[in-house]
Structures are given as structure tokens and as C-alpha cells.
Structure 1
């Protein structure tokens, strides 16, 4: 005859073994991976500004500008969204990325922003068979969500050079640096701030290109002399 205490102990052991087996099976199941978020640099503001521009402002005698695809400094040439908590150390959000590298997203935005100024006869993104009078070279040296202070900020820095295509001479260069406070500390808050920073820099870049073109004269062309009143003479 089986003693009742032995039967009870057996049932407890069996239940414990079953619990261990169930727990083990659960541990072997793959955990759910968070779906990545993909973000872009938007051009809605450029389209809105272009819609308000009068066709009469388009330049018919202005120079043609060739825009080279932007370069990116080391660390900023991937689709990963960068943030920083301390100086000299770049980190990446685990499940949030750009839909493309910032440099490739920025290229058509530069063309559209400069076009809306109406200064150039044409603005062409390379590679292209078109010949141009001036060339715009740019480099992204910083695009990061900075958590070193509160509130956090997104900083975007772009270096630009305008070159005379015929003489290969650099006519003008400038570094644009913009910092925008993030609405919140999330990756999306940083993306919104990044778009605002890019918008401000591209507006400044368009003005820079227009100013340089206004002071440019084709190589070999006669520079008009000014009268005492400051007007072009004959």
C-alpha cells in the first residue's frame, strides 16, 4: 500500500517538473522584435514656397548651377539616426533609421531650395550631361540629436563651396550651423527638429548661392563700369 505522504510528494514533484518544462518552452520562443521606424527629410516647405513664387521671377540670363551630391563626414554617412550624450561619442538609436542616408536625401532638397530663389537659369543635380557656369559642393559635417543638455537639441552643420566651372576657382565658401530644440526626447522629436534645422540651413544656402551669382561675371567678360551715381555705365 502506498503511503499518502509519498503520493502527495510525487504529485508535487510532477507538477514542478511540468512547470519547469512549460517555462523552458516559453524561454525558447523568439521574443517579439520591435518594428523599426523610418523617417525622412521633408520638402513640403520648399513646395509651399515655390507655389507662391511668380513665374516672372525666374532668371532667363542667370548662370546655370551644377549641384554635386553632398558628401558626409565620417560617422554621418549611414541611415542610422545619431545622438550624443557626451562630447566625442556618437551613438545610434536601435530601432529608428532614416529612409536613406542624409546626404542622399539632402541632394534634391538643395536643388529645389536654390531653384525657388529664381536666380539661376537652371539648377542641375549631377550626374548630368548639362554644362554649367557654377558648381556647388557641400558636405554634412554634423547631424545629431544632442542630449548633453536639457531640453535636447538637434544640430545640423553644412559646409558649402561655390566654384567657377571654367576657371576652377572657389568663388565663395561658408559654413551653416543651426540648432533646434526638440519637442520631446524621443527619436521622432529629434526628426522633427532635424527637419526644421535643415529647412533653415537650406534657406540660408539659397541666399548664399544667389549672392554669389549676383557678384559673378563669366571669365573674359567685361565688367560694367559704374557711374558716379552707382549705376552701370555704357
Structure 2
């Protein structure tokens, strides 16, 4: 009986040990099966070079009436306010890559890109990002309508639509608005190809929005400038 009890205990020990090993191996296998998520950004904005900064400072001193523009935090339409990278295979059906995502929502990454683009123009006294304690004469509101990789044809393309409103902060009146739209072909038919194309098309529209702001500001300055009135020279008799 003693030997039988010892044998039974030993068998229980071996069974418990094998169970622990089996569970450990399963946990290792499960850990190895965890999929890696790739994270991407909308390219870093190119900083303003030193010669550009000096030239912009001179322009500002020459024209003390140059306005300050405030950038509101961009908004995004439903489905695009996420870090997930969107793609479309069928019209009206929005899908997301499971193992690839943005480092932040595109609306958040758009803000510094737009700020640098406006600074490079040299047509504004300052470019401020909201929220800011400082005040400005103009405010730029942006909304991402779509940013998606479309697989309707080969090569696929990234379609970006951006809506901009330029507002006079004193009157709270929209003085100009425009919808910008462009598509860039992806260099490869995968998420990374879409990321490369997204960086190109976003950079393209950001520059167009900056030009739109400059043109609008110049038109407003001309409207506010005092008009010179000329009177006919009296005829000599």
C-alpha cells in the first residue's frame, strides 16, 4: 500500500508537470502569433530655411498691416476621424487595413503641415495654432472629406478631398471657402504604397490651400485699401 501511494503521488506529480509545460508552450506559441502592426505618419513638414525666415521677416517689417492667421484643429468627416487607414474596393463601402495604421488621426497630422506651408509663404505676420491666447485677423478652418486608397483600377490611387473656410475673426464672417480635391497613383498595391501616395497628395493640397489663403488675403487688402479719387482738371479759358 505504501508503494502504491508513492507511485500514485509520483504519477500525479508527472501529470501536473506535463500540464504546466503544455500550458507554457501554448502561451509561447500564442505570443509568437501576435501580429505586428505597422504605424505610419504623414511626412514631417519641411522646416522653413534660414534665408526664407530672413526674407519673411523683412517683408513683415515693410508691411505692418500683414495679418495674423489662426489655424483651427482640422476636423474629419465620419469614418476618417480615426488612426485606421481607409481603403475602398466597392463604391460606398469603407474598409480599414487591420495591421497598418496612422500614428495619429490624419486631421491631427494635417495641422503642423498646414502651419509650415503658410509660414513659408511669408504673407502672414504670424501663423498660430489653435488654441492660442493670441488673437489674429484671420482663421482657417479645415475639414477632411476623404482620405482613402481606392482599388477601383490598377494602379490604385489615394483620393484626398479637403474643404477650407477662411474667416474674418472680427466679424466672424466667412470671406472665402473652397473644396480641394486630388488623387495620386500608389507606387505599389499595398498599404505602404498607399501611405507614400497619401503623403504626396496631402502635400499637394496643403500647398494649394496656402495659395488660396494668400490670394484671398491679398484681395481683402485691396478692398480695404483707400481708393484714390481723381477729379477732372478744370479747363483753362
Shorter-chain TM range is 0.7 to 0.9
> 3-state DSSP class of the match of 1:170?
strand
Deviation readout 1:144-189 (Å, 9 max, x if unpaired): 0000111100011100000000011111101111100000011111
> 3-state DSSP class of the match of 1:225?
coil
In structure 2, what is the Cα distance between the partners aligned to 1:51 and 1:182? Answer: 33
Aligned to 1:111: 115
Q: Structure 1 length as normaliser, TM-score?
A: 0.79
Q: Does 1:209 align with 2:208?
A: no
> 3-state DSSP class of the match of 1:216?
helix
Aligned to 1:156: 160
Aligned to 1:73: 77
Q: Structure 2 length as normaliser, TM-score?
A: 0.78
Q: Does 1:34 align with 2:35?
A: yes
Equivalences, count: 201
Task: Spell out the pairing of 1:34-183 with structure 2 (5 A cutoff).
Answer: 34-44=35-45, 46-47=46-47, 50=49, 53=52, 55-58=54-57, 59-60=59-60, 61=64, 62-183=66-187
> 3-state DSSP class of the match of 1:131?
coil
Structure number with the higher helix fraction is 2
In structure 2, what is the Cα distance between the partners aligned to 1:50 and 1:84? Answer: 38
In structure 2, what is the Cα distance between the partners aligned to 1:179 and 1:166? Answer: 36
Classify 1:158/1:52 alpha carbon distance in 2 versus 1 (closer, same or farther; 3 Å).
farther
Classify 1:57/1:92 alpha carbon distance in 2 versus 1 (closer, same or farther; 3 Å).
same
Gaps of 5+ in 2: 1-21, 231-237
In structure 1, what is the Cα distance between the partners aligned to 2:224 and 2:213? Answer: 22
In structure 1, what is the Cα distance between the partners aligned to 2:29 and 2:150? Answer: 37
Aligned to 2:234: none
In structure 2, what is the Cα distance between the partners aligned to 1:51 and 1:80? Answer: 36
Q: How large is the RMSD of aligned CA atoms in angstroms?
A: 2.4
Q: Deviation at 1:102? A: 0.4
> 3-state DSSP class of the match of 1:55?
helix
Q: Does 1:223 align with 2:225?
A: yes
Aligned to 2:6: none
> 3-state DSSP class of the match of 1:53?
helix
Q: Deviation at 1:57? A: 3.3
